[in-house]
Amino acid sequence: MKVLVVGANGQVGKHLVKFIQETDGMEAKAMIRKEEQASYFKELGAETVLVDLEDDTDTIAEAYNGVDAVVFTAGSGPNTGPDKTVLIDLDAAVKTIEAAKLKGVDRYIMISSFDTTREAIQEAPSSFAPYVVAKHYADDWLRRTDLNYTIIHPGMLTNDEGSGNVEAAETVERGEIPREDVARVILSTLENESTIGKEFQVVGGTKSVKEAINSL
């Protein structure tokens, strides 16, 4: 299985590409925005493709050649304004979904926010609300497709070393999760077809990633 990782140069993306490259029968194609980002992935033996997520859908779709699955783990980041949040976390997400449909790549995994319900939008601080809104509608767009999708809602992300243990369910108590463990969860989701058509929240816990994903 060849997996296109959208947002590969992010912290979750880098962990994910590494894990994919270490897994038998899988290989990563890292979507990056700048050529100078390529060296990390080339050292892992991963293919790279240069794409600007603000380009049109047809241009983005060119990166899908030869891939079997897509993981969207891109984001505008905490230091940009609502304009970039809309352009990346919503519009770019939708364009990558449409590109998957265009290229016949059925497997699509979305890395969302912990809670993207209407209630979460109403309760979010004003500075955070545009991000939750963007994720809410990107998730909803994906649900309305015929793609074999999974939506992952991780808790508060940390840079701690991953433990390999998590709690995953349709709803869990808010908590933290290392980015490294989010990448492990994505990998396990790719390997488990029973996750198709599902979405779940995930935080640090006591079950192994594989056990937690198998129990969904």
CATH of the domain at 162: 3.40.50.720
The torsion defined by the Cα of 32, 34, 38 and 39, in degrees rounded to 10, comes to -150
Mean pLDDT of 6-15: 97
* Predicted pLDDT of residue 81: 82
131 in active site: yes
Containing structural domain, residue 184: 2-215
pLDDT tens readout for residues 136-183: 999 999 999 999 999 999 999 999 999 999 999 999 999 999 999 999
* Predicted pLDDT of residue 78: 67
pLDDT of 19 over the 70 cut: yes
* Predicted pLDDT of residue 82: 84
pLDDT tens readout for residues 79-114: 778 888 999 999 999 999 999 999 999 999 999 999
Number of domains present in the structure of the chain = 1
Catalytic residue among 40, 64, 108, 131: 131
Residue 146 neighbours by CB distance under 10 Å: 7
Distance, in Å, from the CA atom of 20 to the CA atom of 119, rounded to the nearest integer, reads: 35
Place of tokens 């779940």: 200
